[in-house]
Structure formats: structure tokens, C-alpha cells
Amino acid sequence: MRLHLPDEARLWRGDHELKVQKAILAAARPGSVIYDIGAHAGSIALGVARLVGPSGRVVAFEADPANAESLRENASRNRVTTALQTVNAAVWSHGAVNIPFRRSGTRRSHGGVETNSQHPVLASGELINVPAIALDDFIATGGPVPQLVKVDVEGGEYEVLRGGNNLFTKQRPLIIVEVHHQEASDRIHPWLIEHQYCSRWIIPSENFPCCLFAWPNEYDGADWMLRSAVGEHHR
């Protein structure tokens, strides 16, 4: 990967988001389809592309054009272009030709969609317009159906889930979400109940960001959590 050291040393060492990495490792198989929403420079997506192999697919959604270009370059450097598809768009509750997106300001943080009610928690860069797509629309136009959806979008995670109502109702993928603030948490809790998903929340002492692992009621989530060695602190 092309990285900025020492600021991005955690990506180089591979110890970024270890719980997320372990949960994906426990769920991914050769041939799996996995969505990485908010893929940034590809530190997760590149490794997952090797897990799923050429018969699988990682769809890496990244709204920032510079990050999307880095993703493509890194996929080529790692020879995983067959398994890794980069989509340069924001994932949201609805599609749009243009949606306001606040860039990160630094490569260490992520940007996010910015609306009257939504502001990315860390982004401090310029405001640009990017295309937006809903998960259901992406699949309806030929996108592969995922077995696992990982979301890290700096506060807009509830809107991402809203845009996949058909996906989560009918196809029932596993879910990993980094939840960045209380409002998103308050909205996601009833969404999980409505869509009949069980969950485990890993909550740090500072509360946010916290990590949500969720699975359909009919899935053996306890086994997934055991195999991924995710901690017992949950709600």
C-alpha cells in the first residue's frame, strides 16, 4: 500500500480494527461476497479480497475520489483486482446524482456525508459533491448479494442500513458497524428489532465510537462471536 508514515503506521502493521478483522476472518470463505462501506485506503478490503479469492468479491464503497483512486492503485499493487471492486460513491438511504460530502482533512480520519441533520464526526476538509447509492438500488442493478456488510461512515451508519431494507429483510447478511454517536445508536437499536437481528455491542469507556456485530435471529451468532473472539461486553 502507498501509506503516509508514521501517521498510518497502524495500517502498515495490520493492527487497525482488530476485532473487525477477526470477525470478518471468522465469517469469510472462498467465494464469499463482502461489502466494505467506507473502505478508505483499503486496509481491510485488501486482506478480505485474499480471503474470498478470485471466485468471491469484495465491493469497496468509497465516496472520496482520492481514496477511491488509492484503493484502485492498492488493489493493482496487491494483484486482487479480480476480487476487489471499487465503487466511488457514498452509500446512503437513497440514490442521488450529487450529495454533499465533507472530506476528512487528514488521511488518518474518514470523511462523510453532510446534510442539515448529519455531520461526519471527524471530517474537517472541503465540502464536495459525490454520487450516492442505496444498497438495494446497487443490488437491483446487478451488484452481487453480500453475505456480510461492514460499515464505517463517520456517523451516517443508520442511513446506510435504511437504504438496504430489501437486502436485510430478504437476504439476511451479517452486519459489522462502527457507530459514531448516540443518535445513530438510538436509531439502530429499534432498526435491529424491526428487522429481527440479534446484536453484540463492544463499547469503550468513552462510549463512542463503538462496534456493533449483528446477525439474523435464525443465524448462530454465538458461534460467530466465539470464533471471532469478540469480547463479552455488550448490550
What is the tens place of the pLDDT at every residue in 216-225?
A: 999 999 999 9
The answer to the question of residue 125 being in a domain is: yes
pLDDT tops 50 at residue 59: yes
Please determine, for residue 105, whether its predicted confidence score (pLDDT) is greater than 90: no
Does 190 reside within a domain?
no
**What percentage of residues in the chain have a pLDDT greater than 70?**
94
Residue 154 lies in a domain: yes
Average pLDDT along the chain = 91
Residue that has been written with the C-alpha cell 461486553 in this structure = 233
**3-class SS string, the chain:** CCCCCCCCHHHHHCCCCHHHHHHHHHHCCCCCEEEEECCCCCCCHHHHHHHHCCCCEEEEECCCHHHHHHHHHHHHHCCCCCCEEEECCEECCCCEEEEEEECCCCCCCCCEECCCCCCCCCCCCCEEEEEEECHHHHHHCCCCCCCEEEECCCCCHHHHHHCCHHHHHHHCCEEEEEECCHHHHHHHHHHHHHCCEEEEEECCCCCCCEEEEEEECCCCHHHHHHHHCCCCCCC
pLDDT at 122 over 80: no
Minimal CA–CA distance to 90: which of 67, 113, 120?
Answer: 113
Q: What is the mean pLDDT of residues 142-169?
A: 97
Whether residue 128 is contained in a domain is answered as yes
pLDDT of residue 115: 81
Q: Answer whether residue 87 is part of any domain.
A: yes
For residue 142, being part of any structural domain is answered with yes
Does the structure show a pLDDT above 90 at 82?
A: yes
- Quick check: 21 and 39 in contact, CB under 8 A? no
Q: Determine which of 46-55, 57-66, 108-117, 176-185 has the lowest per-residue pLDDT on average.
A: 108-117
In what order do the strands lie in the sheet containing 127-133? Answer: 90-91, 127-133, 96-102, 112-113
Query: What pLDDT is recorded for position 107?
Result: 54
Which residues span the domain enclosing 92? 9-17+29-177
Whole-model pTM? 0.93
**Is residue 156 in a domain?**
yes
Confirm if 153 and 160 have CB atoms less than 8 A apart.
Answer: yes
What is the predicted pLDDT for the residue at 234? 43
Tally the domains of the chain.
1
| Residue 38 included in any domain | yes
Which range, of 64-68, 87-91, 123-127, 211-215, averages the lowest pLDDT?
Answer: 123-127
Q: What is the mean pLDDT of residues 120-145?
A: 91
Per-residue pLDDT for 186 more than 90?
yes
Q: Is 65 a residue whose pLDDT tops 60?
A: yes
- CATH code of residue 65: 3.40.50.150
